[in-house]
Amino acid sequence: MKLEKQPFPLNIPFVEELGFELWGFGDGQAELRMDLSDKHLNSWRVAHGGVVMTLLDVAMAHAARSTRPSETHGQPGIATIEMKTSFVRAAEGRLRAQGKLLHRTMTLAFCEARIIDEHDQLCAHATGTFKYLRALPTTGRHLKPLQHAVPPQPEAESPEPDTTP
């Protein structure tokens, strides 16, 4: 898996709001990174457990997604079925989450992920089970399709103002 910053394959507003960055994606693996800021901290001024768990969850989901092509832009939908997290030490600074697909079936993926801090210390570890979905059934049995990321469009140049008298 090549490590370089890249766009997320799907539009996930919550992930964007948290400031996660996708640095690796493929072959059953995914790497995400983030810089903690005040909005990510708990009352001890370290990463809030919810931020840590979300980073682990997204890393595992992307690892599961990375090997399963789909009819829709090459990315299946995926939902977390269960997740177990162990918090090893307080997470601070720049964090790196490494997700790995351990096993998959046609409908399920079994994954693990770990978060490493900027000193290469293990902060948290998780395992999770994920279900592949084509769409998400919601209220009234309506299906919600995946929201794929929109490739950035080049900015259009402004026309020169007309200066003729």
* Tens of pLDDT, residue by residue, the chain (165 residues): 678 899 988 888 999 999 999 999 999 999 999 999 999 999 999 999 999 999 999 999 999 999 865 534 555 689 999 999 999 999 999 999 999 999 999 999 999 999 999 999 999 999 999 999 877 666 666 666 666 676 656 565 555 555 555
pTM for this structure?
0.81
Looking at residue 159, its pLDDT comes to 55
Q: Which residue has the tokens 């259009």?
A: 156
In order of their start, the domains of the chain are 16-135 (3.10.129.10)
CA 17 – CA 4 distance, rounded (Å): 20
List CB contacts of 25: < 8 A, sequence separation 6 or more.
1, 6, 9, 31, 62, 66
Strands (E), the chain: 21-26, 29-35, 77-87, 94-104, 108-116, 122-133, 136-137, 143-144
Looking at residue 42, its pLDDT comes to 93
Looking at residue 71, its pLDDT comes to 39
Q: Give the number of C-alpha atoms closer than 13 A to the C-alpha of residue 23, restricted to the C-beta side.
A: 13
What tokens were used for 117?
A: 């801090």
Q: Give the number of C-alpha atoms closer than 13 A to the C-alpha of residue 79, restricted to the C-beta side.
A: 9
Looking at residue 134, its pLDDT comes to 77
Looking at residue 72, its pLDDT comes to 43
Looking at residue 2, its pLDDT comes to 77
Looking at residue 149, its pLDDT comes to 73
